Each structure stands twice: as structure tokens, then as C-alpha cells.
Amino acid sequence: MTTPNATPIEGTAAAPSTPGLVQTLGLFSSTAIVAGSMIGSGIFLVDADIARVANSPALLLGAWVVTGVLTMIGALSYGELAAMMPKAGGQYVYLRESLGPLWGFLYGWTLFLVIQTGTIAAVCVAFGKFLGVFFPTISTTHWLWHIAHVPALKLGPMVLGNMEIGVNTANLTGIVIVILLAIVNVFGVKLGALIQNIFTTAKALSLAALVLFAFTVGRNVTAWNANFGAGWSQFWKNAGWSSLHPVQVGVGGPTMLVNLIVILAVVQVGSLFSADAWNNITFTAGEVKNPRRNIPLSLILGVGFVLTVYFLVSLGYLLVLPMHGDPNGSTALARGLQYASEDRVATAALEVIFHSGGAYLMAAAILVSTFGCANGMSLAGARVYYAMSQDGLFFKSVGKLHPRYRTPAAGLLVQACWTALLCVSGSYSQLLDYIIFAVLVFYILTIVGLFVLRRKRPDTPRPYKALGYPVLPALYVVMATWICIVLLRYKPQYTWPGLVLVLLGIPVYLFWSRRAASQLQSGSDFNC
């Protein structure tokens, strides 16, 4: 049911699934996509930076608590939207239906430009880097074709450039993985889901093993005394309401002292987005069995599992490594959590537990983790471009399904091509830094859309209603908005560039929408 002059909400009782797509994914596969897309390489790295900025064991874990609260509320809220509109495209569709087609397009544009493709590029090149632990010829310094070096250019708080363009053995490995996963997912969502199930199970077991080792054989007196000793006073050190923390504003800017509430928002740059990509299951909603039940349930189960594991892993780090250490220390224990070599906290923890064999064990775990993450994101992302094409806002060919396997083959290949280009350009890491703020803004807008749809279309069937509505969704908007304000103030290098990338989509939207309107009037099609 719709209100007058409103675009009909897709995915109501009259339209249970997207025509042409095959409903193949069950609850386990859907949950594996949620968990597998979330767990990449972040949990193995970001705790070092959080520890340096927060400078407190309590605040390190507090950062993950804030991330857990926000992400779980987001998942609970998205469950209602997914049950209302179980269509391919997920968040793109929710924004389109609640706030209008421009907002949906800006999300899809940013997703294609860097959110999805940049993340896939980053985790696939990370796969290549860690494969180099076993095969030393695979390295970012082993160039096969070095095209150019782009020098650093400082523009206000931002630093652009400082990139190496070309093909080295590490990013070549990443490109091979990108293309391999695109081809695999062309051969049906069932095959892609099978790979996702296997690798998500493997990475879950590896994280469980890391937690088990940290809580048992890895616990040591040095770390305990440094992080929890003196009657837990070490744990709460620098975490009081009156404690002040230094934060550098922008790149090369002044250092300012901020309080507890601000510092917990600043460190969300690492923790909140290490837990990102949980929304990817909504992109594949047209291929989920019983989506009105399975998508909300998979969001709750997958997000709940990952966030619990993340918290336990970070607690495990504190049981193995002291928070503070010597940056010039000769051992992982001496360097501590803050100064783990190249921020590889998980590797440092396993080196303390297993000595020389720890690096190999961790490299193997990260290979499994990054491969599974890239597969889940590759599978899901193409469904958004498919939905955009159905609306006339992307190349027409991307909106066509493979005649045999019923998958968005063209969308998978276009996504792979752009991802491979980002790998070669070396820009994916910088672009991801810039888009972090924009990702959070789109989450806020989508949850605002939940309120809009409750008011505009109260009679639309809602098989699942957001738990705690309106309090919990409103809490998400308030908390996430506060984080955005803090990042705008103290981390402009992560905010303004992201907004520019999003706004660049406005003229592109005007082009596509006008072209679609003219083609509709003439009755003709347009293709790549």
C-alpha cells in the first residue's frame, strides 16, 4: 500500500522477490555474508592506533563497546527496512524510497566509486602482502611495471598523492583475486555462498582460537600488571572524566587536549569501520529465501557474533601485550600494544605466545579472513549496481542477468574492472580514509528514512519492526551525529574529502536521470 503520488515500495506482499533473481541463500549463508563481510583485516591491526590515541586499556575496550552499541542498533533498524523491501540493492532502495532517488543514487555512486570497490581492493592487496610471508617474492616493493610516483601534495588539512602507480607482485596477486572472485560469483550465488560459508567458518574458528590462546597459554604477568595491576587502577588509568587526551587536528595541525567523550568519538575511525559492511546482506535480499525473516535474523546473529568476538579479541590483546611499550623494543612484548610492528597487533600477540611460529599462524589466518571478506563484498556489491540500472541510473547492461546462472554478471565484471584499476593506482587506501565519514552519514540518513517511512507509509506491511523504536534508532542518530561532528572538527582529513566525493555524484545523477527520462520518452534503450 502506498500513499498518493508516492513511489510504490518494492518488496511488499505483491512483489516478494526481484524478478529473475533466484532465491538461494538460507539463514546460514545470509549470516555468513554478514559476518564474513565484516571480518577483514581491521581487527588484526586497528587496536594499535586506538591504543596510541586513547592511551588507556579501559578506553580501548570502551571504543569497541561504542562500536558494538551503534552497529547493533543499526542492524536492528535495518532489519525493519529489509523485511519491508526484500529487494536487490538493499540500502540503495531504502534511501530511494524514504528520502528520494537522488539520495539513493549518491549512496550507490559512492559505493561503486570507493566504499565497496576500495574495500575489496584493500583487502585483496592485503591478501597479497600476507601471502608474501610464505612467498617472499610477493611484495609491494617487487615491481613488475612501475608507472609513476605521485608526490605528496598538502591542501589544508589533507595530504593528496604520495602514491606509487604500477603493478607489483602484491597488487598483482590482489588483482588476480579480484578477477577470480568476480568470475566465481558469475557462476551463481549458490557457489559464491558456498565459498563464503567455508571461509567465514574458517575465520570464525581462527578468531576463536586467538581468543582461546590469549585467555589461556598467552596470559602473562607482564601484560597483566601493566594493564590490570594495582587493584585495576592501571586498567582505568587515563579513563576518568577529568582526563585529557592529546589529538592532532588534521595533518600537521595543532595538538589539542580533549575529554573522554571526544576521544571515544575520534577513535571510532578505526573500530567502527573495522565492523563495517554488515549491511551487505541487504544488497542480496532478492536472492534470500524467506527474506522477511532471514535478513533481520541474519543481521542480528551475524553482527552480534562479530562484535562479541571483536571485544574478546581486544581483551585478549591486553592479556598478552602491555598497553605501553618501547617503540624501539627488540621483542613484541617490549614494544607493547601501542608500538606493535607495523600495527600488526595480532601477529605480535601470537609471537609472544608461539615465538617465531606466530607470524606464520597469523598470516594464514589473515589470508583466510581477507579472502572471505573480499568474496562477500564482491558478491553483494554488484546487486546494488543492478538495482541502480533497473532504475535507469547506471549502464543498462548492468541491469541484465546472466541467462543461465541468473546473476548480475555485467555488474560483477564492471565492479572487478574498477577495483583492479584502484589496485594499480595505489589510491584505494587514501580514498577509503576519505570516505569513512560519508559512510557514517549514509547510515544516519538511512535510519532517518526509517522514521520517514513510518510516517509516510504507516500501513505498509512490516513483518519485523525495529526493536526499541523510536528510542534506539534515535539514539543511533544522536550518537553517530556526534561522531561526525567530532570528526569534522578534529579529523578534517577524513571528512571534507569524503563529502566532496559524494557531492561529485550530483551532476552524474542529473546526467543519468535526464538520459533515462529521454530514453523512456523515445522508447529506446541505452547500453554501456
153, containing H or E segment: strand 153-155
Question: What pLDDT was estimated at residue 521?
Answer: 67
> For the residues 362-387, what does the mean pLDDT come to?
92
405 DSSP assignment: T
**Residue 265 falls within a domain, yes or no?**
yes
Q: CB under 8 Å to 44, separation ≥6 — which residues?
A: 344, 345, 346, 347, 362, 365, 366, 369
User: Closest Cα to residue 338, out of 355, 351, 321?
Assistant: 321
At 148 the three-state DSSP class reads: strand
Distance CA 53, CA 374 (A): 29
> For the residues 24-37, what does the mean pLDDT come to?
93
> For the residues 125-147, what does the mean pLDDT come to?
89
pLDDT band at 31 (very low <50, low <70, confident <90, very high): very high
Question: What pLDDT was estimated at residue 155?
Answer: 65
Q: Which residue, chain included where needed, has cell 565459498?
A: 195
> For the residues 489-493, what does the mean pLDDT come to?
84
Q: What percent of the chain has pLDDT over 90?
A: 58
Question: What pLDDT was estimated at residue 448?
Answer: 97
- Between 147-161, 301-315, 439-453, the lowest mean confidence (pLDDT) is in 147-161
Q: Who wins on pLDDT, 148 or 47?
A: 47
**Residue 498 falls within a domain, yes or no?**
yes
Question: What pLDDT was estimated at residue 522?
Answer: 63
Per-residue pLDDT reduced to its tens digit, 141-177: 899 998 888 776 676 666 666 778 899 999 999 999 9
pLDDT band at 62 (very low <50, low <70, confident <90, very high): very high
464 DSSP assignment: S
pLDDT band at 320 (very low <50, low <70, confident <90, very high): very high
Per-residue pLDDT reduced to its tens digit, 220-278: 999 999 999 888 889 999 998 888 899 888 777 788 999 999 999 999 988 988 898 99
**Residue 231 falls within a domain, yes or no?**
no
Task: For the chain, give the mean pLDDT.
Answer: 87
Helix, strand counts (H, E) of the chain: 22, 6
Q: Model pTM?
A: 0.89
**Residue 327 falls within a domain, yes or no?**
no
> For the residues 326-340, what does the mean pLDDT come to?
90
> For the residues 193-202, what does the mean pLDDT come to?
92
**Residue 230 falls within a domain, yes or no?**
no
Q: Highest-confidence range of 308-322, 361-375, 490-504, by mean pLDDT?
A: 308-322
Distance CA 431, CA 450 (A): 29
Contacts of 499-504 with CB under 8 Å at 24 or more apart are: 499/437, 499/438, 501/110, 501/113, 501/114, 501/431, 501/434, 501/435, 501/438, 502/106, 502/109, 502/110, 502/438, 502/441
At 481, which CATH number? Answer: 1.20.1740.10
At 99 the three-state DSSP class reads: helix
Question: What pLDDT was estimated at residue 160?
Answer: 63
Question: What pLDDT was estimated at residue 312?
Answer: 97
Domain count, the chain: 1
Residue 332 has pLDDT above 80, yes or no: yes
Question: What pLDDT was estimated at residue 526?
Answer: 40
Question: What pLDDT was estimated at residue 152?
Answer: 67
pLDDT band at 357 (very low <50, low <70, confident <90, very high): confident
pLDDT band at 432 (very low <50, low <70, confident <90, very high): confident
**Residue 460 falls within a domain, yes or no?**
yes
Question: What pLDDT was estimated at residue 159?
Answer: 64
Distance CA 338, CA 25 (A): 41
**Residue 369 falls within a domain, yes or no?**
yes
Q: Which domain holds residue 504?
A: 27-216+242-315+336-520
Is the sign of the CA dihedral 52, 54, 55, 60 positive or negative? negative
Residue 523 has pLDDT above 70, yes or no: no
At 52 the three-state DSSP class reads: helix
> For the residues 421-449, what does the mean pLDDT come to?
85
Question: What pLDDT was estimated at residue 513?
Answer: 87
pLDDT band at 124 (very low <50, low <70, confident <90, very high): very high
Q: SS3 breakdown of the chain: % helix, strand, coil, rounded to 5? A: 65, 5, 25
Q: What percent of the chain has pLDDT over 70?
A: 92
**Residue 365 falls within a domain, yes or no?**
yes
